[in-house]
Structure 1
């Protein structure tokens, strides 16, 4: 999971994710005849009545609103496929079923603008909500385990953009804080270990400079200087603060 500051992804809103999803390609059945359209995204067409053509989702919605086409429902929005996805999600608590990265945004746009082109739209809407709820519960459970183990990163394969939106920035910042606290504890332990070894350093270094010990005073001074720098780094330039404790992830509705 990227950090909250990487690439500005954590700052995207639901509306912006929906705007990005409109670039997804989808099939339509035109009701008009027209040559190819040369767009920035690419060339699309020619358009022949009753002959399927692949266009960006935003163009399909525009044509649908003008009653110039029918939209072919994507395969992942069929009732049979969604029932299989829901069953697999419930059976395996550790794996997310692969779905289009913007499947929630695409489904929302199509259900709002082309429900008459979708078979059993109410059933599809219910299944999508069930799939989203099951996957969200699994995601929160995994996040709780990661917080307890103080991991630096969490692998979340096959989660959709809209599913990650509510937790991306919060969890990235929480992981960063836990990682800093964990590093702080490690520095304290290293300083304590070095302090315990100091008497042994003095005992082994004593004697003449010409003796086999190799100049005990210089070694002691170097070790003391190293200890000071480690303690300063561990102290962080202020009073010692109570270590942060991972909070329970709060469940919320999208």
Structure 2
């Protein structure tokens, strides 16, 4: 038994146990522990592709988008063009606002074996930022085929439809998302915005909602109304946003001047 353990230890590289713990920590969202474990692995001589990928994963988890994008580029160049790495690299590039690179990586990710709904979702978001609605529809359709009833996909599809002015369809998609994930503030806010677009009424303030949050929603509702040509409704939304929060004064004031000028 002692000889077997010794043989297993010899077969393992320097810092392998720390790297395994780092992977577990990252999967659980424990980034501080992951950073410590990666550091321990490097200190004990660990190096190579596994370390580089974990450092990229850590940068992604900590929202250091530019660093994550650069590290994933090195991992891919080093010979790991797997669907998971391409997906994460595309997401990092997307968050870093490098849309062209994100599209290239995500297109490669969705063509790779083992592509997940997250890759399709990110591809849809990238398409939305380019106003490429055909690509967006294809991405969200494929994502929902891979993960039916996924509230994240339905929310992003709803937002995509809002961007195109397809208000009723946006309400339908966002209503499904809200029913599946009732505790998600972003989904609830997007649904409120879609409902405001098809209603003559402005969004109502929720119980215990902060003035700045409500002012932001009013400002968004005003932007939608202005896009619809409903200048009176838009002006009312911007004026109410001004009354609710000083934080939104400049943006709402500029929008109000635009609405009144119209």
Normalising TM by the smaller chain, what interval? Answer: under 0.3
> TM-score, length-normalised on structure 1?
0.24
- Using the size of structure 2 for normalisation, the TM-score is 0.23
Larger radius of gyration: 1
Structure in which a larger fraction of residues adopt helix: 2
Bigger relative contact order, structure 1 or 2 (CA pairs below 8 A, ≥6 apart) = 1
